[in-house]
Amino acid sequence: MNPPSHQPAVARTVADAWARFDVVHAGPGGLNAFLAQDRSARALGTGEGPPRPLDGVPVAIKDNLATLGLPTTCGSRLLEGYVSPYEATAVRRLREAGAVIVGKTNLDEFGMGSTTEFSAFGPTRNPLDRERVPGGSSGGSAAAVAAGVVPVALGSETGGSVRQPAAWCGVVGLKPTYGRVSRYGLVAYASSLDHVGVFGATVADAARGLQAIAGEDPADATSLTTPVADYPAAVASAWATSGGSDQAPLAGVVVGRPREYFPEGLDPRLADCCERALARLRDLGATVRDVTLPHTALAIPAYYIIAPAEASSNLARYDGVRYGRRAPAEALRPMYERTRAQFGPEVTRRILLGTYVLSAGYYDAYYRQAQRARAAIASDFARLFAQGVQLLFTPTAPTTAPRLGALTDPYSMYLGDCFTVPANLAGIPAVSLPVGRVEGLPVGGQLMAAHGEEARLLRIAACLERALGAEAHQ
C-alpha cells in the first residue's frame, strides 16, 4: 500500500496516524474531520497468527456507520452521545482484516449535504485550503485521507457523497455496485440509493479497503450473491503492465466520453484536466469514443424526489419514542414536534420535500414519474455497455471546492452533484481519482463501469493513475 512518490506522506501505522492527527486536527484552525477518536487503538496493531490484509492499517469510519465502543451520531444532535449495541458489517469486516479503527469522521447531518457544513458539530475544512469545504456528505473521511491521517476511510454515498469529496480533496473515492457492500449498520438515508464506499490515498488503497468489506451478507437482503473478485490483484496487474512506453496495457478497451458530462458551460480549465486524462488513456491503448446518455438531464430532478421521499420514511423513526434524543414536553404531540425540531435545516428541508411528493394527489405526479426517469437513466448506461463500451470517463464535479459558506442556495448545491447522481440511480460502480489542479485545487476524473465490474474499473483507474503521475497533482 505504498503511495506513488508524487503523493503526500500518508500515515501507514497507528502511531503515524496519531502524529498526523495531532498536527492537522487540533486547535481552532483544525480540520474538524473527526467527531470521535479511539486513542486506545494505538496498542491494537497486529495480532497472533498469519498476517491479514490490513494488519495494523489505521482506518477512519464515517459517523453514520454503527461501531461498537464509539458514538454513532450521524452528525446530528438527535443522536449525540449514542453508542450502537451492534456494529456495521463493513466495520466488522475491516476489523477482521486487521484494520485499526482510529475514529469516526464528520459528515453532513444524516448524510444530507454536499459540503460537510450541515453537521451539527461544525463544518470540516479542506486540508488543501482551510477556507474551503472538503465536499460532502463524507467530507470528514475525505479530509482524513487527504491530510495523511489514514490511508483508507469508509464513507457512504447516496448521490455522490464519496466521489465528490474525493475530487475536492484530491484523493481516490470508490462507490461499488449497489449491493456489493452490505448496508447493514449504515444509518439509512435513501435505502434504494445508499452505498458504503471507500476512500484511499491511492487506487491500491481503495482496492484493499473494498476487498476487505465486499461480499454477501445474510443481514442485508439487497447484498449481491455474486463472487467478489480480487481487487488488489487487478490493481497489481495494471502496475505490472503499464510501466513501459512500448506497452499498451489498455489495448482493446473502449472508453466512452459522454457529451452530456462535457457541457459548454463547464470550466475550460477543468475540462482541460479531463481531456489530458483522456489523452493518457489513449496513450495506454484505449479507444475513446464519443457517446450520449440522453436522459442525464433528468438525474438531478429524479434524485431530489426519490431520495427525500425515502428519507421522509426512514427518518420518521426519530420521534423521541423509539430512537434518538427525546425533547421534554407535557404531552405526546408537543414532544414529537420539539424532538423533530432538533433536525438541522437541510434535513428538515428534505423531509418536507419527501413528505410532499409522497402525499395524496402528488405521488403519481412526482414520485412515480421520478422512478420512470430513473429507469430511463439506467437503461442509457445498460445500452452503452451492451454496445461494447467498457467504461465511461467524465469529470467528477463541475467545479473545484468552493469556499466555506459560498453555497448558500440549496439549488446550486444540488446541481453540484450532476455528474455523480446518475451512477447512484443506476447502481453501477464508479471511482474518482485526481487528474489535475486548477489554481492549486484538485480536479477529479470519474470512471464508471457496468454492474459488478469493480475489478476492471480499478485496473483501468490504476493504469490512469500511473500514467498521469505527478501531473495529477499539478
Give me the active site residues, please. Answer: 62, 137, 161
- DSSP secondary structure, 1-27, as one string: -PPPTTSPP---SHHHHHHHHHHHTSS
Residue 61 corresponds to which cell in the numbers above? 469510519
Nearest to 466, CA basis, from 257, 309, 241, 137: 241
Diameter over CA atoms, the chain = 78
Residue type, 128: L
Instruction: Give residues with Cβ within 8 angstroms of 427, minimum separation 6.
Output: 177, 178, 179, 378, 451
**Overall size of the chain counted in residues:** 474
Which backbone phi and psi does 293 adopt, to 5 degrees?
-120, 85
Please say whether the beta carbons of 1 and 98 come within 8 A. Answer: no
Please say whether the beta carbons of 305 and 414 come within 8 A. Answer: no
* Helix, strand, coil percent content, the chain, rounded in steps of 5: 40, 15, 45
Strand partners, 36: 104
- DSSP secondary structure, 339-401, as one string: HHTTS-HHHHHHHHHHHHHTSTTTIIIIIIHHHHHHHHHHHHHHHHHHTT--EEEEES-SS-P
Please say whether the beta carbons of 176 and 195 come within 8 A. Answer: yes
Residue 80 corresponds to which cell in the numbers above? 449525540
